[in-house]
Each structure stands twice: as C-alpha cells, then as structure tokens.
C-alpha cells in the first residue's frame, strides 16, 4: 500500500507514475525486518476489501523479540524516571505529527468515520502524555516509609517486573495498543506486543514512531500475525516475567496461555473483552507490572 492508498486527501498525480508500495515489517530490537519464515498474511479493511499483506510472525520471531526486550530492560529501568517520562512524551509528539496517517489507518481498519478516528488518535496521544507524567510519581505513590515496631527504617519502593508480553486489544488497533504499552514502559519494563490481527497497520506505524522518538531499541517490540500461533510460545518462555492477555478473545486460548505461564511463575493479567479504552485510565495498569522492594536498615548505623 503506497502513499496514495493511505490518504484520502492527496494532490493529483501523473497517471503514468507508479506508486511506491510499502512493505509492512515486524519491529524487533529497534529494527524493521520480515518474519524469519518469510510469510505474510492478508489484511482486509473493515468492509472486507483487501488492504495489505502484513508480516506473519513465527515463534522464532517471538523468541527473538524476548531476547531483544531482555537485553534492553536493564538500561531502560536504570534511566531516571524523569528521562523515561521525557521519552514517552516525545512519542506523543511524533505520533501527533503523523496524526493524518493514523486517522486514515484507524478508519480503514476499524470501520469508523473521520471524526471518530480523529478522537481515537487524539486519545492515544493524550494517553502517552498521561503516562509520561506518572513516571516520576510512582515511587511516591506506591512506595514510602513504613511504620515498624523496632529501631529500624523500613522503606518500600516499586521496581519493574521485567519483560512484559502483551496481547493488544483486537478491536482497538491504536488506542488499545497504547493503553497496554505505555503503562508498562512508564515503570521501567520492556514490552513484546502482539498487534491486532485484523487491523495491524496502526501498530506498524507506531513502530516507526517509536524508532524516531528516542525510544531505545528493544524496549518495545511489535509483532504482527496470528496470536494463536505465537502467544503460546511466549506464554511458556522462561524469560518472560509478565503476560498481559487483555486482547485474547478466545476463552480456550486464554486458559491455555494461563496454564503455560503458570509453569514458569509468570505474572498474568486476564483478558478484558469489555474494556472501555476511551475511559480515563487509573493506576491499575501501572501497578500490576511493578514489584515492591522493601529495605530494612537499623537506626543509628
């Protein structure tokens, strides 16, 4: 799909000019690549008409994404909370700069009108800003000094869980994806995200935004393809620390993934098929991928 197919408002072009067709790829380790299997799958628009061929990730691509996320996680967590907030805010800036493209992709993928698509894109921008503002406040809200009976200081602070695998909502191709990505990143986690199968284009474009918005390579990895094929391997991966099943619509698959995660003591968030992604977010998505570290220290030493 080229530029002419993406935008409704475009200047007239020479009839003998051939469009530059875009190749849709995975975003892993800060780089764009095809699936190692070489496969792709057909993506139709909301009316069932052919839209594009998107890369179909394999289990090997999933393992590569986990490796990239693990490699990036210590460095991302070690950044100051203020700096992480700056990076998330920068993502919002770049996303807003490409608003027209996101509106067009949300319209075609989700089958909504221009006004509704614009509202969803604006909400996604605002969500990045909202979570950016929380990065340097988490320690104060979720941590603190605890009262103990004895001559000790007892201090608690939130720390990132580590590598999070998130299955993005299927019907909310951009806002839902941002809503599972941003809170995990705000707390210092790195993420492997499985994009919406039916409307993956906003996720692919979001990868381009992340690559140009100061986000370190590997902090976010975006896979497109069949959730039922890739998710079981990620759920059972021993280097995955948390599994967000928000976008899993199949109950049997959700139970299978939970059982696989239980074998490795992976933290699991269950599916949320009725989630309202336009609602104001709370602290829940920030706190579930954080762990509390408590330190005891004798008074006077």
Q: pLDDT band for position 147 (50/70/90)?
A: confident
Q: Domain for residue 4, yes or no?
A: no
Q: 255 pLDDT exceeds 50?
A: yes
**Tokens 């089958």 — which residue?**
111
Confidence (pLDDT) at 3:
41
Q: How many residues does the chain have?
A: 301
The region of weakest confidence among 24-28, 120-124, 141-145, 171-175 is: 141-145
Distance between CA 69 and CA 63 in Å, rounded?
10
Q: 183 pLDDT exceeds 80?
A: yes
Cβ neighbours for 266, distance < 8 A, ≥ 6 positions apart: 235, 240, 241, 242, 243
Query: Which tens digits make up the pLDDT trace of 106-122?
Result: 999 999 999 999 999 99
State what percent of residues in the chain have pLDDT above 70: 95
Confidence (pLDDT) at 4:
40
Query: pTM of the predicted model, to two decimals?
Result: 0.90
Q: Domain for residue 18, yes or no?
A: no
Q: 225 pLDDT exceeds 50?
A: yes
Q: Domain for residue 69, yes or no?
A: yes
Give residue 236's domain range: 26-298
CATH code of the domain containing 93: 3.40.605.10
Confidence (pLDDT) at 149:
80
Better pLDDT: 265 or 38: 38
Confidence (pLDDT) at 49:
93
Mean pLDDT of 283-299: 91
State what percent of residues in the chain have pLDDT above 90: 81
Q: Domain for residue 151, yes or no?
A: yes
For 35, 45, 78, 183, 262, the CA distances from 266, given in Å and listed in that order, are: 26, 35, 22, 18, 6
Number of domains in the chain: 1
Q: pLDDT band for position 12 (50/70/90)?
A: low
Confidence (pLDDT) at 14:
64
Confidence (pLDDT) at 13:
57
For 2, 14, 80, 201, the CA distances from 18, given in Å and listed in that order, are: 10, 9, 48, 22
Q: Domain for residue 20, yes or no?
A: no
Q: Domain for residue 11, yes or no?
A: no
Q: Domain for residue 212, yes or no?
A: yes
Q: List the alpha helices (DSSP H) in the chain.
A: 3-6, 59-78, 81-97, 99-110, 114-132, 138-142, 175-186, 201-211, 227-235, 251-262, 284-287
Confidence (pLDDT) at 24:
92
């Amino acid at each position: 799909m080229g530029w002419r197919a993406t935008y409704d408002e475009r200047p007239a072009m020479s009839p003998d000019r051939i469009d530059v067709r875009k190749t849709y790829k995975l975003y892993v380790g800060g780089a764009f690549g095809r699936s190692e299997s070489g496969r792709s799958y057909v993506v139709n628009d909301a009316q069932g008409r052919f839209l594009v061929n998107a890369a179909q990730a394999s289990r090997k691509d999933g393992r590569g994404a986990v490796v990239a996320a693990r490699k990036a996680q210590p460095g991302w967590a070690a950044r100051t909370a203020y700096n992480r907030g700056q990076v998330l805010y920068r993502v919002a800036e770049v996303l807003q700069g490409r608003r027209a493209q996101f509106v067009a992709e949300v319209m075609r993928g989700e089958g909504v009108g221009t006004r509704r698509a614009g509202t969803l894109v604006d909400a996604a921008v605002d969500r990045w800003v909202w979570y950016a503002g929380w990065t340097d406040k988490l320690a104060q809200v979720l941590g603190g000094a605890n009262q103990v009976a004895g001559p000790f200081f007892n201090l608690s602070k939130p720390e990132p869980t580590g590598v999070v695998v998130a299955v993005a909502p299927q019907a909310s191709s951009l806002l839902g994806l941002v809503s599972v990505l941003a809170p995990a990143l705000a707390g210092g986690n790195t993420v492997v995200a499985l994009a919406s199968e039916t409307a993956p284009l906003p996720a692919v474009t979001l990868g381009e935004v992340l690559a140009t918005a100061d986000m370190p390579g590997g902090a976010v990895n975006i896979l497109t393809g069949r959730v039922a094929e890739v998710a079981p391997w990620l759920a059972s991966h021993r280097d995955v620390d948390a599994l967000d099943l928000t976008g899993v619509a199949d109950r049997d698959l959700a139970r299978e993934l939970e059982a696989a995660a239980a074998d490795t003591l992976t933290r699991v968030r269950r599916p949320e098929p009725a989630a309202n992604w336009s609602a104001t977010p709370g602290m829940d998505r920030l706190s579930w991928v954080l762990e509390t570290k408590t330190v005891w220290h004798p008074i006077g030493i």
